[in-house]
Amino acid sequence: MRFATASLALLILASLGSQAPHAPGASVAGAQASAPTLDALLDRFGDMPGMSAHFREEKRIALLAVPVRTEGVLYFTPPGRLMRKVTSPAPSAALLEGDRLTFVSDGERQVVQLGESPVLAGFVESFRYVLAGDRAGLERTYRVQYTTDGAQWKLTLRPRNENLQRFLREMTLEGEGFSVATMKMVEVSGDTTTTELFDVNPRRRFTDAEVRRFFSL
């Protein structure tokens, strides 16, 4: 369950990336001088035709002295199909379609119906609020804190739902302008997962052939 929840959180929140960040120190004409409001950030998501991105992830587990590091790719196409593929150190994949979450790892396949897991269902509900730009719905599920500093912003989500509270302490996203740079998830156990997103393409449009290629297990 822990792997399923962490994977789904990454799938959901990766879809927040809406512009690829420019390289540090680069000069960008017309760069946004101040961070968007939370409403403006949420409004941007609704018109996203699709998304692709790469990620680097570091998971610190209390019982392990060395953090677990993974790399991979993410794909999203409306209205709610998301794929997370780990390419290193060992291949695996997680696919969200409707109310079904499928995992493939080490040659084994696991299918989870979201109705059977209140925690996973809570994450999916959050995802749907975000993509709809529904701030009221998001605030029903989480205590939302949004702060800015120049063009940089920080969004902290702490669950209100008791089922989510049993697993998740908080999720924090940080970015600049309309771009998400990092996401950190802190579990009740004390385990943390930090994810960096890069090569984000928020205007990705998948052909039918690409959908069959990138969203199949």
Establish if 27 belongs to a structural domain: no
Establish if 26 belongs to a structural domain: no
Establish if 159 belongs to a structural domain: yes
Cβ-contact 97, 90 below 8 angstroms? no
CA distance 195 to 31: 24
DSSP state of 165: H
Does the global pTM surpass 0.85? no
Establish if 74 belongs to a structural domain: yes
Establish if 185 belongs to a structural domain: yes
Range of the domain at 173: 2-19+33-201+210-214
Q: Among candidates 9, 14, 12, 17, which has minimal Cα distance to 180?
A: 17
Establish if 25 belongs to a structural domain: no
Q: What's the CATH number where 176 sits?
A: 2.50.20.10
Q: What is the pLDDT along the chain (217 residues), one digit of tens a residue?
A: 555 555 556 556 555 544 433 333 333 334 557 888 998 888 877 677 888 889 999 999 888 889 999 999 989 888 778 899 999 999 999 898 888 889 999 889 989 888 888 877 777 777 677 767 788 888 998 999 999 999 999 999 999 988 889 888 998 988 888 777 888 989 898 999 998 888 888 789 999 999 999 999 8
Domain count, the chain: 1
Establish if 148 belongs to a structural domain: yes
Establish if 24 belongs to a structural domain: no
Reduced to 3 states (helix: H, G, I; strand: E, B; else coil), residue 171 is strand
For 123, the token pair is: 């994450």
